[in-house]
A and B are shown apart, each in its own frame.
Chain A
Amino acid sequence: MTRISNEQVKHVANLARLAITEEEAEKFTKQLDAIITFAEQLNELDTENVEPTYHVLDMKNIFREDIKQTGLPREEVLKNAPDHQDGQIKVPAIIGE
């Protein structure tokens, strides 16, 4: 039985905002199927009453003082932007014609 189908891989790629070719979809399906099959050995373990570990240290709700701080200067931030205009980062049109 396969764990992940070609269609699912294409769906996941779309969710992850990756464009993949038909060839890549085939290759990734095979590889991901092998990895997921391998991962299913976890089902050998009974975890019915086991709490999940989201954080290995006993820490929660780390707050800082609510003090106003200056952000990064705009001209610095724009240095790495692929395209910008009038101090704003520029992207192609979001809404089509």
Chain B
Amino acid sequence: MSLFDYKVSDLHELLHKKELKVADLVEESYKRIAQVDDKVQAFLTLDEEKARQTANSLDEKLTANSANSLLFGMPIGIKDNIVTKGIRTTCASKILENFNPIYDATVVQKLQQQETVTIGKLNMDEFAMGSSNENSYYQKTRNPWDLERVPGGSSGGSAASVAAGEVLFSLGSDTGGSIRQPAAFCGVVGLKPTYGRVSRFGLVAFASSLDQIGPITRSVEDNAYLLQAISGLDPMDSTSANVDVPNFVSALTGDVKGLKIAVPKEYLGEGVTEAVRQSVLDALKVLEKQGAVWEEVSLPHSKYALAAYYLLSSSEASANLARFDGVRYGYRTPNADNLLDLYKNSRSEGFGDEVKRRIMLGTFALSSGYYDAYYKKAQQVRTLIKKDFEDVFEKYDVIVGPTTPTPAFKIGEKIDDPLTMYINDILTIPVNLAGVPGISIPCGFDNELPLGLQIIGKHFDEATIYRVAHAFEQATDYHKKKPGI
């Protein structure tokens, strides 16, 4: 048994009863990483020395009996697009190979206030562009359930490290499904909060109208605790919303009586495997038994989400990634005698193919003569997609469906065809376009590969999502099964 099989609240109690030290938790992390990370390859950078120092000073504090936060001493992994002062932050790109941030992201500062211990930085698709972690410049993270398969992406390292027991929990980021899809593939709990719930100050921007940071954990309760710690208005991020942060954990009542669930027919249609479809229908039966009611609905513009998403996210990325020019930080080409060549060669040598492809697509969609036909059109379609959700949420509390159309696929299976790879995100993308929150929780297995149930809520109603997710989790055992690695 691993210490990380315990929930945060149990570990907190053990620490305060002096039956456990923070140093034990940190050692558990590094011991497990030493055991399995040459196979899983979730971590890009470890911060071992500093983590051990932090653990020791926290243990001294614990002896002195000072009042501590619930997350005190808990070992966490951070996705490598979230800046950490003094810990290399690469976005899994060559262009940031030697980049050492000089400040902490707001979420990292908030974790420090809670006195968590940062174990290291987690692999991802380069600049969060991808669904398999195969776009990392450094390494291919593997799925702990089957090392021949991808962990999903882009937060593949974040999900795989939690599933493999290398950390208690982690932070990821989600632009089109990048938390929920890997959480589903790795059999863990991952939430994309409402757009504006969590500050993105210090998150290296991919698509600013879509990006959100969120928690990846083993249980719904831990997820709620971690979201609580990182949420809230931040003067450093003008898109963070000035709304109350409720007590998410107190929403975990186990009571879903009378809850109204909408099940979009588009989410169980074409491309969704029979095993995935069945797992969702079984999950609905579980919730029905607990007193919830469900009905089929339609989100008629779902099929257009993918196209709108690729135009919008790539357009925004083409602007956001203009900052990587080899001048102020990051990789600079040795092959340039003038400034223009310095820009061009630094970028061409520093970025991978998928990043270049999306920068070019975005530049094209924003270019003179094409802006209205592509970019503006996609923003209009986004309005229709958002309206689909608003209409359904007038009558229903949550929307439920699968997180992904299939379980984890094999490494190399889809990498040569960008469009096939993109179709992976067809069920998660509409959620980002509408800005609503969504979670993926374990809901079954197909040939020993985990499947994820997606629960989508209204703007700023993560509490209801957690209530439903928790009720389902309590009634099932899927989350208790661990990969055999």
Contacts and interface: CB of A to CB of B under 8 A. Distances in A.
Contacts of B419: 34-35, 38
A42 B359 contact: no
Contacts of A47: 377, 380-381, 383-384
B485 interface: no
A32 B384 contact: no
Contacts of B307: 38-42
A36 B311 CA distance: 9
Interface in A31-63: 31-32, 34-36, 38-45, 47, 50-57, 59, 62
A1 interface: no
Contacts of A94: 338-339
Contacts of B338: 92-94, 96
B103 A52 contact: no
Contacts of B377: 42-43, 47
B480 interface: no
A31 B380 CA distance: 25
Interface residues of B, number: 68
Contacts of B327: 81-82, 89, 91
Interface stretch (B155-163, B234-242, B260-268, B393-401): B234-242
Contacts of B326: 82
A79 B339 contact: no
Interface in A1-41: 4, 8-9, 12-13, 15-20, 28, 31-32, 34-36, 38-41
A54 B381 contact: no
B357 A89 contact: no
Given A32-B357, A53-B383, A39 B310 contact: yes
Contact of B380 (A8, A9, A16, A50): A50
A42 B99 contact: no
A15 B380 CA distance: 26
B384 A50 contact: yes
- The A interface is mostly helix, strand or loop, or mixed, namely loop
A82 B332 contact: yes
B386 A45 contact: no
B342 A92 contact: yes
A80 interface: yes
Given A16-B363, A35-B310, A59-B196, A92 B339 contact: yes
Interface string A77-88: 101111100000
Interface in B348-375: 348, 351, 356-357, 359-361, 363-364, 367, 374
B196 A57 contact: yes
A64 interface: yes
A32 B344 contact: no
A95 to B, nearest CB: 9
A91 B306 CA distance: 40
Give the 8 A-B residue pairs with the shortest CB-CB distance, closest first. Answer: A56-B435, A52-B379, A82-B332, A80-B329, A47-B380, A62-B238, A19-B344, A19-B348
Interface of A: 4, 8-9, 12-13, 15-20, 28, 31-32, 34-36, 38-45, 47, 50-57, 59, 62, 64, 72, 76-77, 79-83, 89, 91-94, 96
